Amino acid sequence: MKNKKEESNLLQVYNDVLPPSSEDLEQIILGTILIDNECIYQVANEIKPHLFFNMQCRKTCEVVLHLYNENKPIDILTVAETSKSLGFIEDVSPYFVSQLTNKIASTANFVSHFRILQQYALRRLMIQACSKGIRESYDDKKDVFDLIAEIQNDVDGALKGVITYQIASVGNIHNEIVKKSIELVHSNKKSGVPTGLNQVDNVTNGWQESDLIILAGRPSMGKTAAAISMAMYPAIREQMGIGIFSLEMSSSQLTSRMQSILSGVNVGRIVKKQLTIEEIEQIDGRAKELKEAPIYIDDTPNISIQEFKGKARKMVNELDCRLIIVDYLQLMRSGMKTHSREHEIAEISRALKACAKELNVPVIALSQLSRAVESRGGDKKPLLSDLRESGQIEQDADMVCFCYRPEYYEIDNYEVGNENFDTHGLFLLIVAKHRNGELGEIPLRFIHEQTKLVNYEYSNFEHFAKTNVEHTEKNSTFVQQENEATNKNETLSKLSWNNDMFDGSDDDETPF
């Protein structure tokens, strides 16, 4: 059995060993952030100066976090300049900052490197807590039970100082829900992001925070037109930030569609730049709201899910975007090695849902349907089983909506809720899955020449036009047909949802 002197000598060995740390690792993490600012968004809630053992790295982290909180760019120059204003120039010299990027070969493993950094920091905190316990255990005047309680608190504090826990009390959540509900009653606003389409907003009360909404359909069904129409109302009328990832169309083509929606000028003529002076003036006058609209487009093709997450975080945190749209899901790549395309789509779907939950904003992802729809007989109405390449999409989504135009399949009349509709210009938004709401079919109007979606009972885009506008002579015939169709369908307000159209046996459709 060791006596007190032998135990003291044994402890002395630990005092000669440096605490667990890696200066190279700390420099690599900071250098990665300097090269790729998107990396900091992956650990923004966890990175803290005390995770770094080297004093120069710790001070550099303080400068980086200062720039991040100020929504300023983070690079070698801004870090070096900011260190002067914060009084850190001795530790964070321009030479030291410039050397941080020399060891970076790739930013791909940033999160893994950061987890190792956390483990080093946790080991150091545990050493401090255990050293205190060993030292004070020799003090006979110290109550042993009080000492045990102190050490337990120190260990808990070590964990809390490194690992971020996201645990909330149901009582606090209850109070927040009640408070927000009262505010919504007084403000007379929707709880989610409104679309400006009355029937859609009645069912969803606006797109809800943290929801993944899949907007699916076959080609030429109007998926992109629907997404744009639903995005423009909150951006222009409510001044809500909207982020759009357009993997299929360029930002110029997407903006041309928005110009057509607002101006009434044929979208094909805008895209092809075949405009008259009168039409240009019409676009400039009626679409002037686009100049101030908080709509942000990223048209990077074949974007990876990691790149998407970083940019989406930036849109939400820096540009205050309240809705993210992806057009479309199958054009993304997971950035991971997978055995099949189905597994890759499943990874993308899971990542989109995780992103919606993390950023607490609704994410609308457009999706293609399989060709099984075309080979099916009858009205060729899409089903959940038609979601292309992965059943994981259906599982992850909070809502699945299908875009369906009976006119495309040469169907003359279509019945919704015991009401017959002329299919000319008829657009059906079929809610096939709704985790927290009803199922059914929402009739809307699709105006092909402007690729826009409107309330079925309205003859123009009243949400965006404060006053009635006259269409050009070229579009007057279409407007007249639209007005006639509107008058024939005044009974729309009597429409009731038909929940029997879908099988309600899925447990996901009910809260219990």
**Any idea where the domains of the chain sit in the sequence?**
10-162, 196-509
Q: What is the mean pLDDT of the chain?
A: 77
Q: What pTM, to 2 d.p., does this model score?
A: 0.62
Q: At 204, is the secondary structure helix, strand, or coil? A: helix
Residue 186 has pLDDT above 70, yes or no: yes
Nearest to 335 by CA among 306, 378, 371, 297: 306
Nearest to 107 by CA among 21, 42, 20: 42
pLDDT at 243: 92
Amino acid at 317: N
Nearest to 425 by CA among 488, 348, 360: 488
96-105, 219-228, 330-339, 489-498: the lowest-pLDDT one: 489-498
> Distance between CA atoms of 235 and 230, rounded to whole angstroms?
9
pLDDT at 161: 66
Residue 426 has pLDDT above 90, yes or no: no
Average pLDDT of span 160-174: 71
pLDDT, tens digit, 9 for 90 and up, residues 465-479 = 333 333 333 333 333
Q: At 423, is the secondary structure helix, strand, or coil? A: coil
What are the structure tokens assigned to 459, written together?
């003859």
Nearest to 49 by CA among 103, 95, 88: 88
pLDDT at 511: 25
Confidence of residue 248 (pLDDT cuts 50, 70, 90): confident
Residue percentage of the chain with pLDDT more than 70: 83
Nearest to 213 by CA among 186, 234, 193: 193
Nearest to 472 by CA among 251, 236, 247, 280: 280
11-25, 143-157, 221-235, 338-352: the lowest-pLDDT one: 11-25
One CATH from 3.40.50.300, 1.10.860.10, 3.90.380.10, 3.30.465.10 for 10-162: 1.10.860.10
Confidence of residue 325 (pLDDT cuts 50, 70, 90): very high
Confidence of residue 480 (pLDDT cuts 50, 70, 90): very low
pLDDT at 14: 52
User: What's 150-180 look like in SS3?
Assistant: HHHHHHHHHHHHHCCCCCCCHHHHHHHHHHH
Most confident of 147-151, 157-161, 312-316: 312-316
pLDDT at 164: 62
The residue to which tokens 């205050």 are assigned:
320
pLDDT at 493: 33
Count other C-beta atoms under 10 Å from residue 160's C-beta: 11
- Lay out the sheet containing 295-298: strands in order across: 295-298, 241-246, 321-327, 363-368, 212-217, 399-404, 426-434, 440-447, 452-455
Confidence of residue 362 (pLDDT cuts 50, 70, 90): very high
Q: What fold, for 196-509? A: Rossmann fold (3.40.50)
H or E stretch covering 463: none
51, 162 contact by CB (below 8 A)? yes
- Phi, psi for 400 (deg, rounded to 5): -125, 120
For CA atoms 463, 465, 471, 472, give the dihedral sign.
negative
Residue 485 has pLDDT above 70, yes or no: no
Average pLDDT of span 131-138: 84
pLDDT at 457: 67
Cα-to-chain-centroid distance, residue 265: 32
| Greater pLDDT, 460 or 77 | 77
The contacts of residue 493 (CB under 8 Å, 6+ apart) are 457
What are the structure tokens assigned to 401, written together?
């909506």
pLDDT at 510: 26
pLDDT at 475: 39
